Amino acid sequence: MQVFLIRHPRPLLESGVCYGQLDVEGEDPRPLARRLRSFLPADTAVVASPLRRALGLAKALDRQARVDARLMEIDFGAWEGQRWSDIDRRLLDQWATDVLHFAPPGGESAALLQARVVDCVNSLCAEPAKRLALVTHAGAIRAALGYWLQLPIGQWSRLPLAFGSISLLEIDAPAGLQRAAGRQGEALREATPPAQLRYLNH
């Protein structure tokens, strides 16, 4: 299975604001869509996060693009819409000491993000399509890459991903894929199928 991981256009939001699942518009997706089409074979199925900055690009690529809420960005809970400089420093320090399992007030952890993204990709890989384009967010893309490439959180959480970039992950998806599950939502490593990163951040 070829999985093309596409990050949404730059959001129309001032810098320094926390915007995980905050539903903000993105820049005009049409120029990006014209460029990205050259990477996508004609039979590629497009699936998108329902957030407008991702869905707009997905629809520009394919009017029949499907939506899957499991591809949304991490939920920052009470932090959504706040300036990073206004968030309690003690909470940010707690996050820094446990990046995988810390969850902001009312939000979710990176482990839970990874579990739902992996569950989404596994279920899509079980379908007949051989190629998928997932129009989603930096956190979701990093979580998928971290899982299939078996990277520690300290590496996958820092992978560079430009707005409008495309990355290709090839997953060997045998019959009977196990869905991600585990204590506190952490994906099971023993269920990880082999994968290869063909290119990152094109």
| pTM (predicted TM-score) | 0.90
Q: What is the mean pLDDT of the chain?
A: 91
Other C-beta atoms closer than 10 Å to the C-beta of 29 total 23
Other C-beta atoms closer than 10 Å to the C-beta of 43 total 8
Distance CA 171, CA 66 (A): 21
Each residue's pLDDT tens digit, 137-164: 999 999 999 999 999 999 999 999 999 9
Percentage of the chain exceeding pLDDT 90: 86
Give the pairing of strands 166-171 and 195-199.
antiparallel
**Which segments in the chain show pLDDT lower than 50?**
174-190, 192
